[in-house]
Amino acid sequence: MEKMRRLKIIWGLLLVVLVGALTIAGIIWKNNTGVYKRLEDKLSDGAAKYRDAATIGDNEKVKVTLEELQEAKVIEELKVNDDECDGYVEIYKKGLTFRYEPYIKCNKYVTKGYKS
């Protein structure tokens, strides 16, 4: 009976340590990628200012690059700390709704689905 109680306590402690470690790892990952998510938002906002979405036809996809946004002086640079990034935004129109999908590529981060 005593061995079973000790075993339950050990397994309980292991479970608490495991959940705690995974929670801390998740928080660290979110903090590290959060700055890149803000860059994606900045790129998306710049594309919305640069390209008049009303000129896009139904079910059409338009790609706006970082270079275009820099030439139009909408965005100066896409940089986190000393990590220079490149990117683009794909604008979709379906019916009356517009969707902006930003993609960035940095030395330490790449948006899932980024195509060179």
The structural domains of the chain, with segments of one domain joined by +, span 2-105
**High-pLDDT (> 70) share of the chain, %:** 97
* pLDDT tens-place string over residues 49-87: 887 655 777 777 888 898 988 888 888 888 888 888 899
Q: Are 47 and 68 in contact (CB under 8 A)?
A: no
pTM: 0.71
Q: Give me 44's structure tokens.
A: 């998306």
Q: Are 58 and 72 in contact (CB under 8 A)?
A: no
Mean pLDDT to the nearest integer, 38-47: 88
